[in-house]
């Protein structure tokens, strides 16, 4: 999804900031570093010299609590805990030690709640629904154009069957789908499947070839999005 969701969370008297972009949660590092009482210049150098962290940090546009937009260096939220525990409480100033330990114990939990609950969760699902619908329009447009180029007449059941195939990849049921029963990650998966199907249709793959390719793609995306599968290897609806 191309849109972003900015998230704010107050922790230990500090306004922390994060953003969800293309389904990935990022945390702004400056407020965390300063909130811990550490030197931003020093921690910035350590971040950029770390062989793993320097490859995954990103500059993200954020609107702060003051309403101003700024570029901030961010770390994917899943890596925050690892960074926090790279800070040795025994090697900081005595007045900072307790803050560092407090952040190591509680900061990730507070930010994770901000990313997964409340308005951020609602906004993320809204974006997922919009993305799914846009991908559906793309898929049907490509399918219609390819059929017309092949001298075939597109019928309603052609599009319905294709949507049911993708729904089956998500829920295990070859049927129409009630999107209200899907969470944001499942909706994101369905959007990805529709976009991939549009590519497969444009490449001229027949139904059985698309079905096999989409099954493999769905399995890969489930792992990426950490969506649980049921006993039959299909998604839980």
- Percent of the chain's residues with pLDDT above 90: 45
Phi, psi values for residue 4, rounded to 5°: -125, 155
pLDDT for the residue 230: 41
Among the residue ranges 36-45, 46-55, 63-72, 89-98, the one predicted with the least confidence is: 63-72
Q: Where in the chain is the domain with CATH 3.10.260?
A: 4-116
Specify the pTM.
Answer: 0.52
- Percent of the chain's residues with pLDDT above 70: 85
pLDDT for the residue 142: 94
E strands in 42-147: 58-63, 69-76
Nearest to 204 by CA among 146, 138, 130: 146
Please provide the average confidence, as pLDDT, over all residues in the chain.
Answer: 84
Among the residue ranges 15-24, 195-204, 212-221, the one predicted with the least confidence is: 15-24
d(CA 105, CA 66) in angstroms, rounded, equals 28
Among the residue ranges 4-13, 118-127, 140-149, 157-166, the one predicted with the least confidence is: 118-127
Mean pLDDT computed over 5-19: 84
Structure tokens at 235: 């998604």
pLDDT for the residue 150: 92
Residues 27-56 have pLDDT tens digits of 999 999 999 999 999 999 999 999 989 999
E strands in 13-172: 14-21, 24-28, 58-63, 69-76
Phi, psi values for residue 5, rounded to 5°: -120, 120
d(CA 199, CA 27) in angstroms, rounded, equals 33
pLDDT for the residue 231: 33
Query: Quick one: CA dihedral 59, 60, 63, 68, positive or negative?
Result: positive
CATH topology classification for 4-116: Mlu1-box Binding Protein; DNA-binding Domain (3.10.260)
Which position has the higher pLDDT, 223 or 164?
Answer: 164
pLDDT for the residue 95: 87
Answer whether residue 25 shows pLDDT above 80: yes
CA distances from 225 to 57, 141, 199, 219 (A): 20, 27, 21, 10
Answer whether residue 154 shows pLDDT above 70: yes
Mean pLDDT computed over 143-151: 93
Structure tokens at 51: 């062989």
Residues 163-189 have pLDDT tens digits of 999 999 988 889 888 877 888 788 888
Answer whether residue 119 shows pLDDT above 60: no
Which position has the higher pLDDT, 232 or 42?
Answer: 42
pLDDT for the residue 178: 83
Strand partners, 16: 9
Residues 195-210 have pLDDT tens digits of 999 999 999 999 999 9
Nearest to 181 by CA among 129, 237, 234, 222: 237
155 neighbors 218 (Cβ within 8 angstroms)? no
d(CA 1, CA 22) in angstroms, rounded, equals 5
């Amino acid at each position: 999804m191309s849109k972003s969701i900015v998230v704010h969370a107050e922790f230990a008297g500090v306004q922390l900031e994060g953003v969800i972009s293309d389904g990935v949660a990022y945390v702004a590092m400056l407020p965390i570093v300063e909130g811990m009482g550490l030197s931003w210049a020093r921690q910035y150098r350590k971040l950029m010299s770390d062989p793993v962290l320097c490859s995954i940090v990103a500059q993200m546009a954020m609107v702060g609590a003051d309403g101003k937009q700024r570029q901030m260096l961010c770390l994917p939220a899943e890596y925050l805990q690892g960074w926090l525990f790279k800070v040795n409480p025994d090697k900081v100033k005595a007045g900072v030690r307790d803050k560092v330990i407090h952040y190591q114990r509680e900061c990730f939990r507070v930010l994770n709640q901000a990313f997964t609950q409340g308005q951020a969760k609602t906004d993320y699902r809204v974006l997922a629904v919009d993305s799914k619908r846009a991908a559906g329009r793309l898929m049907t447009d490509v399918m219609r154009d390819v059929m017309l180029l092949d001298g075939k007449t597109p019928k309603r059941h052609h599009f319905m069957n294709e949507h049911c195939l993708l729904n089956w990849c998500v829920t295990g049921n070859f049927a129409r789908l009630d999107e209200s029963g899907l969470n944001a990650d499942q909706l994101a998966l369905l959007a990805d499947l529709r976009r991939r199907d549009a590519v497969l249709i444009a490449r001229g793959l027949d139904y059985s070839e698309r079905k096999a390719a989409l099954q493999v793609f769905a399995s890969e995306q489930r792992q990426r999005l950490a969506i649980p599968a049921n006993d039959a290897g299909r998604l839980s609806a």
